[in-house]
Structure 1
Amino acid sequence: MTMIRQATVSGPGELVRRRILRELERRSRYRYVRPEVSWHDGGWQVCSPCCSRNVDADGGVIDIARLENPEPDLWRLYARDHVLGRWLWQASAARIEELLALVVEDVHRVFWP
């Protein structure tokens, strides 16, 4: 009997998580830190060590971005307001890649403070 090996994928949308991580590798800010992407309360959250120490003086892990897919063909991107302790909507798009480009480029330091 021949056994067929199959790739295992864990969690909701593990392939989406991997896509997010792959896109984050292209970022221009803080390329030397390793962000984490996890499923939390119905959305993908990006966290990373705070190298600038602007948010966490000790360089601890902070929230960077949140991506939600509330319906087909709609993605929403949020940035963390660390002062108010809440997520702020930044943009919506049909494709996640459009939103990830905003996080990767982050010209105005909205996501990577």
Structure 2
Amino acid sequence: MNAAVTKRAVVGLNAHPNEVDRKRIECSLGSRRRYRYVSPSVRPVKDGYLIESPCCSRDIDKDGRVIDVALIHHDAVCELWKLFWKDHARGIWQFHSVHRRLSAVNDEVNADLDRVFWR
């Protein structure tokens, strides 16, 4: 089997979600700048991870229930990470950015310069 065929076969394998990267994301959330007093969680979803947290400001959920914060999707074909924020008013995920490394995604969510994740 030649190298090109082998690479396509490996790319076809779904490496995400996995427990190591889920834990890596979860640990990185300790470095976030906003709403440090809540305890977010990271759940595996198809091809990625969902970050959830009790509603920080109560603007989205007046009772402070758990809400979606960010969706991280791994595109195995392009070998990229796609980051989405939740438009709670419309109930849909909105594209935010694309990154080559998971650490860059974590940095983006933790900094939240646009204030779209931690609201």
* TM-score bracket relative to the smaller structure: 0.7 to 0.9
Say yes or no: does 1:30 pair with 2:40: no
More helix by share: 2
TM-score by length of 2: 0.81
CA deviation map 1:15-40 (0-9, x unaligned): 00010011111001111111010012
Letter of the structure 2 residue corresponding to residue 82 of structure 1: H
Matched, 1:80 2:86: yes
SS at structure 1 position matched to 2:59: coil
* Mapping 1:1-113, distance limit 5 Å: 12-71=17-76, 73-113=79-119
The percentage of aligned residue pairs carrying the same residue is 41
How many residues end up aligned between the 2 structures?
103
- Is contact 2:56-2:118 (8 Å) kept? no
> Is there any run of 5+ residues in structure 1 with no aligned partner, and where?
1-10
Over aligned residues, Cα RMSD in angstroms? 1.5
| Cα displacement (A) at 1:100 | 1.3
Matched AA of 1:75: W
Gaps of 5+ in 2: 1-15
